[in-house]
Amino acid sequence: GQPLLIVRDLQKHFPVSGGLLGRTQAKVQAVDRVSFSVKKGETLGIVGESGCGKSTTAKLLIGLTEKDRGEIIFDGHALGERLSLKDLRRGVQMVFQDSYATLNPRLTILDSVAFGAQVQGLADPKCLARKMMDRVGLDPNRFAHRYPHELSGGQRQRVNIARALAMSPRLVVLDEAVSALDKSVEAQVLNLLGDLRAEFGLTYIFISHDLNVVRFISDRILVMYLGEVVEVAPVDSIWAEQAHPYTRSLFSAMPSMDPDDRTKEPPLVGDPPNPINPPKGCRFHTRCRFAAEACKTKVPKLAGLSGNADHLVACHLHDAASGHPKAGQGVPA
Ligand code: SF4
Ligand code: MG
């Protein structure tokens, strides 16, 4: 079927306050040329180092940040054309990492969960809120009249999930939603998210720096580097083969289950380049051990691997027409 969400060529550059570079205002190129789609009912995991554009992408999706350029098509309708920001914000809900900062400390849990539904004019928001609390494992009889500071981090994150669900969203964007939780609580919330996805027919975008968590919950994984998408693939496919040299480094940095793993990529050297003035051509070329002349000038396009069209990568090694001397050999061992 048709994807629930299509993002095309999304761009966001933030002006740097007070900073002038030459005669033009310097800008952080936070998100560039970002394109992807999410199918109904699937979970797309987004990974990458902090500052790679994951969170900015999420905020662009719900209009918390205004895009410079690009298309957001939700359920067949383009934002700004047949889809208003208000409709988009009802269909797409977000859950953030900081469960405390996102809750109003003066509202009871019941009022917090009911608030969005009330604003939307949904029928009987308090009754709906009690149902949702129950569904996320917070007994409304015990928790309805408590305040956020009386709850644990895991309980507060359940409140945020209930609040998002009360809006009957189609898509939920979870930005580091379990990252602040203890491992055992994290596992419980991940299982809850999986159950809710099945029960309500939800679609998720799951952003995290933790590859193992992303692997557990996602159907496909998208990798970002310096504001761009470098690889997108089904979980099993990317676990078996990291086609982009950056993805290989990212996976190699994971605590390994096998300490004698000799297939490990050497760790990344140097800091990520400055996003105000990112490298030309392939943005990863300053840190890539396979970088060739072509990589310094030509921007690699996201394209399917030969024989595995669902596995997309943006790297000249996989493009015979790129002029890269090792093209066609894939990533050499
Ligand atoms: Fe490395 Fe070139 Fe591929 Fe970029 S395009 S990841 S520099 S080999
Ligand atoms: Mg972030």
Could you please report the per-residue DSSP string of 123-140? S-HHHHHHHHHHHTT--H
Q: Ligand 2 centre and the CA of 52: distance in Å?
A: 8
Ligand that lies nearest to the alpha carbon of residue 248, given by its number in the listed order? 1
Q: Ligand 1 centre and the CA of 295: distance in Å?
A: 6
Q: What are the angstrom distances between the C-alpha of 106 and each of 27, 112, 127, 146?
A: 38, 9, 20, 10
Provide the pLDDT for residue 260.
58
Provide the pLDDT for residue 80.
87
Ligand that lies nearest to the alpha carbon of residue 97, given by its number in the listed order? 2
Using an 8 Å Cβ cutoff, are 21 and 35 in contact? no
Q: Determine the atom of ligand 1 nearest the C-alpha atom of 285.
A: 7
pLDDT tens for the 333 residues of the chain, in order: 789 999 999 999 988 876 555 556 788 889 999 999 999 999 999 999 888 999 999 999 988 899 999 999 999 999 988 899 988 988 999 998 876 778 999 999 999 999 988 988 888 999 999 999 999 999 999 999 999 999 999 999 999 999 999 999 999 999 999 998 999 999 999 999 999 999 999 999 999 999 999 999 999 999 999 999 999 999 999 999 999 999 999 998 877 655 555 566 777 877 788 888 899 999 999 999 999 999 999 999 999 998 999 999 999 999 999 999 999 887 877
Ligand that lies nearest to the alpha carbon of residue 176, given by its number in the listed order? 2
Provide the pLDDT for residue 281.
96
Going by their DSSP bridges, the two strands 24-38 and 203-207 should be labelled as: unpaired
Helices 153-165, 109-119: crossing angle, 10 deg rounding: 20
Q: Ligand 1 centre and the CA of 239: distance in Å?
A: 20
- 41 residue type, one letter: G
Pocket test for ligand 1, best of 316, 318, 322 (most atoms within 8 A of CB): 316
Q: Ligand 1 centre and the CA of 97: distance in Å?
A: 32
Spell out which residues line ligand 1, taking CB within 6 angstroms: 244-245, 282, 284-285, 288, 290-291, 295, 300, 315-317
Q: Ligand 2 centre and the CA of 326: distance in Å?
A: 35
Pocket test for ligand 1, best of 244, 315, 318, 322 (most atoms within 8 A of CB): 315
Provide the pLDDT for residue 191.
96
Structure ipTM: 0.94
Q: Determine the atom of ligand 1 nearest the C-alpha atom of 291.
A: 7
CB atoms within 10 A of CB 332: 9
Q: Ligand 2 centre and the CA of 51: distance in Å?
A: 7
Pocket test for ligand 1, best of 224, 228, 284, 319 (most atoms within 8 A of CB): 284
Pocket test for ligand 1, best of 246, 247, 290 (most atoms within 8 A of CB): 290
Q: Determine the atom of ligand 1 nearest the C-alpha atom of 245.
A: 6
Ligand that lies nearest to the alpha carbon of residue 51, given by its number in the listed order? 2
Q: Ligand 1 centre and the CA of 313: distance in Å?
A: 10
H/E stretch holding 224: strand 220-225
Interatomic CA distance for residues 133 and 106, integer angstroms: 18
Interatomic CA distance for residues 191 and 295, integer angstroms: 42
Q: Ligand 2 centre and the CA of 98: distance in Å?
A: 11
Provide the pLDDT for residue 275.
84
Q: What are phi and psi of 58, to 5 degrees?
A: -60, -45
Tokens matching residue 34:
């970002």
